[in-house]
Amino acid sequence: MSQTPSDEQQWHQPAWDSSSADSISDPRPAELTPVSGEVLVPARRSVPSALESTLTVIVSAIWPVAVVGALLGFGSWWWNIGIAIVASSVIGAINSELAKRRKAG
């Protein structure tokens, strides 16, 4: 069993004194100043329309359907990839325009 050398300093937990609390980290309620002015209410977000939600689902499903269709032999790889690129571009642009109009007003 080893023993600590007697000449080495030991760390001790300092005694807790509530009167010496830091005034910056623990401000007193009397030191707080009230804030006055206009209360800002957060804007209400509008819900996407049924068309926008449907187009979002279709855009997210185009690529998996194209890959599965190519693996199962429905059309060639090139046709499936080409159709997926064109369809996701067109439907994504329509969906973005609908979202922009919804957020604008």
Model confidence over 30-85: pLDDT tens digits? 666 777 888 888 877 888 999 999 999 999 999 999 999 999 988 888 999 999 99
User: Cα separation of 46 and 52, whole Å?
Assistant: 12
The DSSP secondary-structure symbol of 59 reads H
* Domain boundaries defined on the chain: 50-104
Q: Are 70 and 76 in contact (CB under 8 A)?
A: yes
Q: What's the pLDDT at 15?
A: 77
Q: What's the pLDDT at 46?
A: 85
User: Cα separation of 81 and 91, whole Å?
Assistant: 15
What torsion, rounded to 10 degrees, do the Cα atoms 71, 73, 77, 79 define?
A: -140
Q: What's the pLDDT at 78?
A: 92
